[in-house]
Amino acid sequence: MRKRKDIITSTGVTVHQKPLKLRIWNNRGYYLMFLPVFIFVIIMNYWPMLGVRYAFYDYKPVGEPSWVGLAHFTKMFSTTAFWVAFRNTLELSIMRLLISTFASVVVSVFLNEMGNLMAKKVLQTIIYLPHFMSWAVVASIFSLLLSPSSTGMVNGWLKDLGILARDQAGIYFLADTKLWRPIFYIINTWKETGWGTIIFLATLSGINPELYEAADIDGASRMQKIRYVTLPALNNTIITVLILNLAKVMNMFEPIFVLYNNAVYSVSDVIATYIYRQTFAIALPNYGYSTATGLFRSLVGGALVLICNQISKKTRGRGII
């Protein structure tokens, strides 16, 4: 006979655990409640996983799928556009992660120094705002501001300042391979810096005030206190934010998708947008090829999540998933 496990309830009473069958029956209400969740996750998340097999088939809008083995992967790995997209994915998402995390840390540290609580609150309210705007809206706003037409604010200002001649055509910022990336980072910083401060401000509010008092007694200046008390306190949070976001590197899609155009594919195309165009924007799509690229993206993305999860367990004692 199997030994029954003893369990201790929250009230401290020790009870013998009932047999599994009985426990399942007793919990039938919970299973019933989980059922809809289970069904929808199976349909929306697991069913598509079966479609991954098309990565090994030729699958065109007309005709039956036919087995091609690893042909799509060989083709993919010898396609320049794919490698450009892969490199761009890493470069763009890591750069934007570093830039906006840095900006958020700086803003939170100095926001934390602000003595006037009212002013602090107003400023927080303002800088959180852009986060709630969709990427489509943000892209629309900036495409109007950066427009080369007569109503584009930035080009108008450049003319007012004499940097551009009055009769010169405006700069088409979003279609210039040299300017697209800096503009992309600026827009990202504009949209997400404020929201990124929330997590750092939460950490800062937890710093023991005695640390600052001790620094005061030692005669530390404001900058020294920031350097030796505030910033070290943020180390763990910064690592957490970086790990959490590093796991999502392969996900980058919408920010690029709404801002790029065919003039700047070389500097802006990422894996997800590459897949999109291979499927929906060419005359004779081969779903097999796009599925293969998608499978590559899922696998690299999944590996990143697992790696970041391990790093997270090592550095801060708990995983991210």
Segment 171 to 190, residues that bind other proteins, using CB under 8 A: 190
Contact present, 99 and 185 (Cβ < 8 Å): yes
- Minimum distance between the CB of residue 138 and other proteins, rounded to whole angstroms? 9
Residue pair 194/127 in contact (Cβ under 8 Å)? The answer is yes
Interaction of residue 212 with other proteins, rule CB under 8 A: no
Smallest CA-to-CA distance from 199 within 119, 104, 123 is with: 104
Q: Is 198 in the site for other proteins (CB under 8 A)?
A: yes
* Residue 307 C-beta: closest distance to other proteins, Å: 11
Residue in this structure with the two tokens 């950066």, named with its chain if needed: 146
Query: Is the Cα dihedral 258, 262, 268, 273 positive or negative?
Result: positive
Give yes or no for residue 107 binding other proteins (CB under 8 A). yes
> In this chain, which of 111, 234, 246, 249 binds other proteins, going by CB under 8 A?
111
Q: Distance between alpha carbon 162 and the CA centroid of its chain, in Å?
A: 39
Give the one residue of 102, 128, 172, 185 binding other proteins; rule: CB under 8 A. Answer: 128
The one-character DSSP state at 115 is: -
Q: How far is the CB of 260 from other proteins (least distance, A)?
A: 10
Footprint (CB under 8 A) of other proteins, residues 38-57? 38, 40-41, 43-52, 54
Residue 238: burial class (beta carbons within 10 Å; 0-12, 13-18, 19+):
middle
Indicate the burial class of 37 (C-beta count within 10 angstroms; 0-12, 13-18, 19 or more).
Answer: exposed
Identify the residue whose tokens are 């349909």: 43
Residues between 250 and 279 that touch other proteins (CB under 8 A): 253-254, 257-258, 272, 275-276, 279
Q: Which of residues 59-78 bind other proteins (CB under 8 A)?
A: none
Distance (Å, whole) CA 235 – CA 200: 10
118 counts as binding other proteins under rule CB under 8 A: no
Residue 97 as a binder of other proteins (CB under 8 A): the answer is no
Q: Whole-number minimum distance, CB 257 to other proteins, in Å?
A: 6
Q: Is 161 in the site for other proteins (CB under 8 A)?
A: no
| Tokens 């088939």 sit on residue | 57
Least distance (Å) from other proteins to the CB of residue 199? 5
**How far apart are CB 10 and other proteins at their closest, in Å?**
4
Which one of 144, 163, 231, 307 is in contact with other proteins (CB under 8 A)? 144
User: Count of CB atoms within 10 A of residue 10's CB?
Assistant: 5
User: Applying CB under 8 A, which part among 26-34, 66-74, 79-87, 161-169 lies near other proteins?
Assistant: 26-34
